[in-house]
Amino acid sequence: MKKHLHVIQSIVPGSIAEEMELQPGDTVLAINGQDIEDVFDYHYLVNDEYIEMLIRTADGTEEVLEIEKDYDEDIGIVFESSLMDDYRSCSNNCIFCFIDQLPKGMRETMYFKDDDSRLSFLQGNYITMTNMKDEALERIIRYKLEPINVSVHTTNPELRCMMLHNRFAGKIMEQLQKLYEGGIIMNGQIVLCKNVNDGEELERSIRDLSGFIPNIESVSVVPVGLSDHREGLYPLEPFNREDAREVIACIEKWQKKLYEEYGTHFIHASDEWYLLAGYEMPEEERYDGYLQLENGVGMIRLLTEEFHEGLKEAVTDGKKRHVTIATGHSAVGTIRKLAEELCEKFPNVAVDVYEIVNHFFGEQITVSGLMTGTDLKEQLQGKDLGEALLLPVNILRSGEDVQILLDDITIPELENTLQIPISIVQSNGQDLVDKILGRGEIDE
């Protein structure tokens, strides 16, 4: 096993680490005599009332620090790598992988596929577990690393091997069973592909996964995203309205059954299914506390509820105001309806809502999170955008510079081209009310 060097990047002010006079550039070598592989080892070992930490200072001196603290009190060290290790890449070649559908010429980091169980715990990423050995599962159980989010897609072993193009992918039920017996809380995800893992295969997957209730708290079903850049890839078809209604009928049938048996709806259709089907979103109670928001399950319902609450308390100074909101096809109907409600209450406020057609990835991509600066420039340039342009926060690239969009165009560059201040709306309805009314700060 390689020796990991865990270099301190910064120290949290007022923390134990500052009190112990640790400095950026110092290296943590061991805790209680044990080497540290990654962030999991670190957090497991520091969760104690007394620890001995072996440090190498920037000048090469080694010393042992004796630290007394509350059991779960954080020491206040920020490392150069959040994982304290290299990221583990995906070993699959999934027939539905969106990264394989990206256009050429994007930044290299955009093509990196992660499948790291540590990111599942730390950031909520979904993992396939195909590159995990029994020791890794045992480590998750031993350290109680939960929740773990699993990209299941199907519980049929042969079909899963085909979909992920990985001969080790068929062990999913055994792996889930091991985590279940270890008491680990999980969430699941199924990316649904037409004529592949839908229909009877979806029924089978829901049936199998429901056997792990309550440890698997929820499972989302999302439609495969298909860009215009699928040359040489597995032939997949888009879902139509009738398909969406069949998927919803299946899921709602299981929701009713499982709620009666376990008190949880468990299986959830993403908002895209209801939009495609032309149905109203389920009532708030059906989302079981919005466990799958990151997969687009309940986002529209939650946004609507929060917006209405915010609108009840909202007031203005009576001055005229004109703003523009840009969003994708999926959300445009909802955003227009909410904007109309606000303008009805405040006649002095005008809101234009523009639907941005996704030319960059392809017109079948309709979610706002995949809007690009290129499309925004082309479709908004020359229009009267009012005092500010409002954009959803999910268009910004996560984990990197918050001012950069997916196609590397920056917010300042977009502001300069469109000659309009841009305000980023956070993922809640209250902030949408605030930004329309000018109560939120314009993002620098």
Rounded CA-CA distance 218/238 in Å is: 25
| 127-161 residues labelled b (16+ CB within 10 A) or e (exposed) | bbbbbbeeeebebbbeeebbbbbbbbbbbbeebbb
Amino acid of residue 442? I
Tell me what pLDDT residue 86 has: 54
- β-sheet bridge partners, residue 373: none
Amino acid of residue 198? D
Rounded CA-CA distance 385/388 in Å is: 7
> Whose CA is closest to 327, among 303, 302, 344?
303
- What three-state secondary structure class fits 374? helix
> Whose CA is closest to 110, among 403, 409, 408?
408
How much is the pTM? 0.81
Q: First CA to last CA across the chain, in angstroms?
A: 46
Distances (CA, A) of 44 to 19, 55, 71, 84, 136: 22, 18, 11, 13, 15
Within 235-330, strands assigned E span: 267-269, 321-327
Specify the residue for token string 């529209």: 300
Going by their DSSP bridges, the two strands 77-79 and 6-11 should be labelled as antiparallel
| Burial class, 111, CB count within 10 angstroms (exposed 0-12 / middle 13-18 / buried 19+) | exposed
Sequence-distant (≥ 6) Cβ neighbours of residue 317 within 8 angstroms: none
Per-residue pLDDT of the chain (444 residues; tens, 9 = 90+): 445 678 899 999 999 999 999 999 999 999 999 888 877 778 788 888 999 999 999 889 999 999 999 988 889 988 877 655 555 556 678 888 877 777 776 665 554 455 444 444 444 477 888 877 888 889 889 888 888 899 999 999 999 999 999 999 999 999 999 999 999 999 999 999 999 999 999 999 999 999 999 999 999 999 999 888 888 889 999 999 999 999 999 999 999 999 999 999 999 999 999 999 999 999 999 999 999 998 999 999 999 999 999 999 999 888 999 999 999 999 999 999 999 999 999 999 999 999 999 999 899 888 888 899 999 999 999 999 999 999 999 888 654 446 888 888 999 999 999 999 999 999 899 999 999 999 855 443
Check if the beta carbon of residue 118 is closer than 8 Å to that of residue 39.
Answer: yes
Specify the residue for token string 């909410």: 338
Tell me what pLDDT residue 79 has: 84
Tell me what pLDDT residue 119 has: 45
